[in-house]
Structure 1
Amino acid sequence: MSGTGFEGEILIRFALGQYIWRLEWCTNAPGVTQYQWTRSQERLDSMVAAHDAGNWVEISEHELKEYGGWVAQVVEEMVDRREKLATLSGVIGVVIDIVGGAAVITLSSVMSGDRRAHSTASQGLGTPPGGKVIPLPPRPTSTAPRVQLPKASGM
């Protein structure tokens, strides 16, 4: 079924070592996402320890009233950091695209200039710009006798 199977979790540590809270979400029906807040059963030193322990309990109404504002602040800061990172990533991507495009254009013009220079030189219309054609000296002839290869060698 399309629009289902989206699920995940995020762990939040706040309030100077208070319990670690966990937000889970799951999309069981198209367009419907269910959220559930829980917290670690005991106070733990890290989110990794809380995740590994797997001891989550429902959050009481009292805890929601007492700590909910802090959790909301932490979540808002996390979202803000992600949005800034996404914006920075987008800007860097645009710069990479521009630099890459400029490099392709530069290389293409250099390569097409080389082709024009070679075709001009081959037609006897001059030498390529910025250079001079220097003929290579002839190869020395070998005085060694030529070896006859057997017919099965494919040569």
Structure 2
Amino acid sequence: MSNNLLQTLASFQEETSTAALQLTFGTHQIVNYHNGMLLNRMQRQNSRLVLHKTEPSHLAKMEVVDSLVFQFSFLFEAHALYKYQKGQNICLPRPLVDGRLQIWPQQLELSFRIGAPDPSLCVHILHTYTGDVLVKKKTRSVSF
């Protein structure tokens, strides 16, 4: 892989292949907050994300394979893969809400809230993926 995560993801998005791209990050930090107060901080190794191309092609789908509770995926604007942005809203499955994705050349950050009927029960989650990244293509059809 290139030393630049953004370049790797953008190159993949431009390919005509329908394969998925599995990213295994050396370090994955997960931080949980409740009402702005730190609840828990943990660090994992070798956590995976899988990037899928979609139709329409202006969207991309990312699958969070190694999550704390359950595997999930989200949609985001593919143009985020071409340059660093301050953050982009993402479309998450319920009960996850208020998702944001930030990608830097050396880091990927995913944040969201676990929604609840009572706002005082909501928990904010921050996933930060850094370190060496192993990149592997997986055969997969285009998502819709």
Larger RCO: Structure 1 or Structure 2 (Cα < 8 Å, ≥ 6 residues apart)? Answer: 2
Q: What range is the shorter-chain TM-score in?
A: under 0.3
Q: Which has the larger radius of gyration?
A: 1
The TM-score, its normalising length taken from structure 1, stands at 0.24
**Structure with higher strand content:** 2
The TM-score, its normalising length taken from structure 2, stands at 0.25
